[in-house]
Structure 1
Amino acid sequence: MSSKASTASKSTQPAGPPIVARIAQLMAGLGIAALPRNYELLFEALNGNAGVARDVAALGKTPDQLSLDAIALRHALPSHNALAAGQAADEAVRVLCEIAKTSEESQRQRAAAMQELEEIAARMQRDPVLGISDFTSDATRLLSLMQDILGADRTAAARIGDLQCHLDSLRSGLAISRDALTHDPVTGLANKAALLSHLNGIFDDKAAAGTSALLVFRVEQLRKFAESHAAGSDEKTVKRLATIFRQSVKKNDLVARTGPDLFCLLLCDVTREIAAGIARRVADKVVEMPFPFLDRELPAGFLTLTAGVSMTDSATTPVTLYEQADQALAYAAETGIALRIYSAEVAERAGRTYRGGAAA
């Protein structure tokens, strides 16, 4: 896992993450508006999402906002879900207006045909011996109306079929958009929103769920190494790490990626000792394994893990549980140890840090 040497190196790093400066430079260079959704798009492009990076690069200089939004929608980035939902709502309104217009025209033609029939019936009642020429004229006119109605019905059926396909496409797009709200785009793992949502279920019925553990891991060296290489160069590494985490848990446990170098395990019905043992086994696997990176491999031992653990029996809400694991992780990194479980000592250290920051 981590060491004091790595802790020391972290303390000398600048306060602001380099990727923020890179995003600002890229925005200025390409003339991209400083919108929140554009920040997320460029963050994805610079932080491991190779597909987004390629699509943004293909736009060339001074890309327009519509093209940028199209890339984000195509890759289902979370900040664009509201935009996607708005577009889908507009499309749905347009589709329903077209259906209503088609139905209204069909009703008008049927009303005209009914009126013709009523007029013919009335004339026949007034004059039972209706002339053949008059009857032929009425029949011809009525036949023409019926042909128009049948033709309109066929056209309407085809149009409604097309509209149904369009609505199905919109529904599929919204499903992808919803999926993006809860999944990491690179690994397919749950994201932080999904993790907290899952925790809500546990805290709603803690008695039935038993004691659960939240393990937050930071992959040391990964972010710094990725930022010094081309965008998306760490994608294979991140996917290999995701596989290791998936293979380390039971079926009912949850694996999440909550940051560029952060992975979480939510273990159900475990003790502190079991949770700590799983954390150590995962860390050992990572240390022992080489990882693919561009056209070479990162040697075994290049990446290490630092872990913080919190337990549901010491937290009152999902957010508190996550914060406790994060505090334990920070404590472990500060003291140069591999693993720390949330405790009164960790809480006191976090309080001192908060008070010191507030005083400054």
Structure 2
Amino acid sequence: MIWLRKNRSGHSRPTLGRVLQRANLGLALIAVGTAGIFLTLVALFALRAYANHNLHLIARSISYTVEAAVVFGDRPYIREAMVLIASKEEVSEAKILDNRGNVLASWHRPKDGPLHGLEQIVAHWALPEPVVLPITHEGKQVGKVWLSGNGGSLLRFLLRGILGMIACLVLSTLCALVLSRRMLLGIVSSLDDIANVAHAVRRDRTFGLRVPSAPIAELHELSNDFNGLLDELEAWQAHLKQENDSLTHRATHDSLTGLPNRAFFEGRLSRALGDIEPTEKLAVLFIDGDRFKEVNDSYGHAAGDAVLTTIAGRIRAQLRESDLVARLGGDEFAVLLAPVHSTEDVLQIADNIIDCMTQPVILPNDEEVTTSLSIGIALYPEHALTPQGLLHEADDAMYQAKHRYNGGWRLAIQK
């Protein structure tokens, strides 16, 4: 889930990966930044104390060095000794005073460099007051050393600390990105697998898909529960499909013979007429059993059912795989022959159907009965152009065969 998905209102929402990545990055930056600021402040206060102590040591060193010169009033030596020490240390300004406050020697650090102003600001913060130490000789004060600190070292330390903190922030950001990406691989990839399977099931109804195992225990349990739900959905889907297929079969087939019923036959005939080529023909055979009522009355309904199932099986055996036989009701059957190349082929099939009934039918009580069939034949396009017209013409031809010609087959009259 490394892309942004839109909700129903069209507003984009951040992915879980983005949220976790931002949280990890924010925590890393806050932690490193806080630690860096805290350490810098601690170091600055420590350095401030160190600078003040160091300035006192410098003043004491100058005091020892110029003691004799102050006693004898040797101003050139006083200045030379003071400058020699002060110029090498973090001193901004130095003075040697006598007991009356007269300046015996003074020195200023040159005010040059691009960071002089910042150095002064830092020096004013770290060493706001100058250091004043007495110059003593044989227990008596003979003068004073006056020193003002320089902020160059403090500024350099502060700049290095800022640069170090920035470097730590950059490094921690990169580390946080790498570590969060590695961490998110185990979380987001597992959730992404679940989301992809859920979308595929919802979109394509592919209930056979399963979520792979996850490396994290909680997500692994979630994947197993999701797969269990898919198992139940798949079983329920299969059950519904089986029920629908069963209902569809019962709605379109005869329960006794298993043959398609009238509705199925008429639908198939309509599709065949719609798909037939201009040079092709098809035929409809309307079949009715002879003396079927006598069998029912003489032997019972069980015998009649046996006769019907036998007729259905024997008719089906005389047809091609592409042909269709249906039970229209009672002892009436219909056959669709599509395509047919000639009328003679249709008549040959009709003869075969009539001949197949010459063998007796074995009844449930092991008695035998012989029955025959009457067949009416209608051809497309010679006799009719519609499904209803073809069935009507074949029905009329069957009626003629049964009642005027005592069985057999009859071809419909060409219009």
TM-score, normalisation: structure 1: 0.50
From 148, 152, 159, the equivalent of 2:229 is 159
Contact 1:183 1:191 in 2 (8 A): yes
Task: Report the equivalent of 1:255.
Answer: 325
Task: Report the equivalent of 1:283.
Answer: 354
From 391, 404, 409, the equivalent of 1:335 is 404
From 316, 341, 360, the equivalent of 1:246 is 316
Higher helix share: 1
Task: Report the equivalent of 2:375.
Answer: 307
**1:222 equivalent in alignment to 2:279:** no
Cα-to-partner distance string for 1:215-259 (whole Å, 9 max, x where unaligned): 111112335534776665544433322222123233433322222
Contact 1:213 1:275 in 2 (8 A): yes
Q: 2:221 and 2:235 mapped to 1: Cα distance? A: 21
Task: Report the equivalent of 1:190.
Answer: 260
Contact 2:340 2:346 in 1 (8 A): no
Q: 1:209 and 1:298 mapped to 2: Cα distance? A: 46
**1:324 equivalent in alignment to 2:401:** no
What pairs up with 1:42-53 in 2 under 5 angstroms? Answer: none
Q: Which runs of 5+ in 1 are unaligned?
A: 1-109, 132-142, 348-360
Q: 1:186 and 1:261 mapped to 2: Cα distance? A: 12
SS in 2 for 1:215: strand
From 119, 125, 128, the equivalent of 2:29 is 125
Larger radius of gyration: 2
Report the alpha carbon displacement of residue 320 of structure 1 after superposing the two structures with TM. Answer: 0.8
Report the alpha carbon displacement of residue 283 of structure 1 after superposing the two structures with TM. Answer: 2.0
Report the alpha carbon displacement of residue 130 of structure 1 after superposing the two structures with TM. Answer: 10
Distance 1:206 1:161, change over 3 A: closer
Q: 1:272 and 1:119 mapped to 2: Cα distance? A: 83
Distance 1:202 1:116, change over 3 A: closer
Q: Which runs of 5+ in 2 are unaligned?
A: 1-14, 36-186, 188-215
**1:176 equivalent in alignment to 2:243:** no
SS in 1 for 2:254: coil
Q: 1:337 and 1:233 mapped to 2: Cα distance? A: 23
Contact 2:295 2:303 in 1 (8 A): no
Report the alpha carbon displacement of residue 317 of structure 1 after superposing the two structures with TM. Answer: 0.6
Q: 1:259 and 1:324 mapped to 2: Cα distance? A: 18
What pairs up with 1:29-44 in 2 under 5 angstroms? Answer: none
SS in 1 for 2:230: helix
Report the alpha carbon displacement of residue 198 of structure 1 after superposing the two structures with TM. Answer: 3.1
Distance 1:163 1:205, change over 3 A: closer
**Relative contact order (alpha carbons < 8 A, sep ≥ 6): 1 or 2 greater?**
1
Distance 1:153 1:270, change over 3 A: closer
What pairs up with 1:55-134 in 2 under 5 angstroms? Answer: 122-128=26-32
Q: Percent identity?
A: 20
Q: 2:368 and 2:317 mapped to 1: Cα distance? A: 21
Q: 2:34 and 2:218 mapped to 1: Cα distance? A: 26
Contact 2:375 2:410 in 1 (8 A): yes
Q: 1:211 and 1:305 mapped to 2: Cα distance? A: 24
Q: 1:176 and 1:254 mapped to 2: Cα distance? A: 20
The amino acid of 2:229's aligned partner reads R
Distance 1:154 1:228, change over 3 A: farther
The amino acid of 1:308's aligned partner reads G
Q: 1:214 and 1:334 mapped to 2: Cα distance? A: 20
Distance 1:168 1:291, change over 3 A: same
TM-score, normalisation: structure 2: 0.45
Q: Aligned residue pairs: how many? A: 220
